[in-house]
Amino acid sequence: MRRNYLALGVAAVAVAASALVSQAAPAPAATGLHISGRDVVEANGEKFVMRGVNHPHVWYESRTGSFADIKALGANTVRVVLGTGKRWGPSDDVAQVISLCKQNKMICVLEVHDTTGYGEEQAAASLDEAADYWIGQKDVLAGQEDYVIINIGNEPIGNTNAAQWTDATANAVRKLRANGFEHLLMVDAPNWGQDWQNVMRTTAQTVWNADERRNTVFSIHMYSVYNQASSIISYFDAFETMGLPLVVGEFGWRFASGEVDHETILAETQRRGMGYLGWSWSGNTDPILDMATNFDATQLTTWGQRIFNGANGIKATSKEATIFGGTPPTTTTTTPEPEKGCTATYSVANQWPGGFQADVRVAAGGAAISGWTITWTFTGGQTVNQAWSATVTRSGADVTAVNMAYNGNLGAGASATFGFIGSWNGSNPVPAVTCTARW
Nearest alpha carbon to residue 111 among 95, 129, 134, 92: 134
Which secondary-structure segment (H or E) carries 437? strand 433-438
End-to-end CA distance of the chain: 56
Nearest alpha carbon to residue 410 among 348, 355, 363: 363
Residues composing the chain: 439
Contact of 130 with 92, CB cutoff 8 Å: no
Residue 44 phi/psi, 5-degree rounding, is -85, 5
Which secondary-structure segment (H or E) carries 371? strand 371-377
Give SS3 for 362. strand
Kindly calculate the radius of gyration of the chain based on its CA atoms and give it in whole angstroms: 23
Helix axes 262-272, 229-242, angle to 10 degrees: 30
Instruction: State how far the Cα of 230 lies from the Cα of 261, in Å rounded to an integer.
Output: 10
Q: How far is CA 11 from the centre of its chain?
A: 25
Residues marked as catalytic: 155, 250
Residue 162 phi/psi, 5-degree rounding, is -60, -20
Cα-based angle 37, 50, 36 (whole degrees, multiple of 5): 15
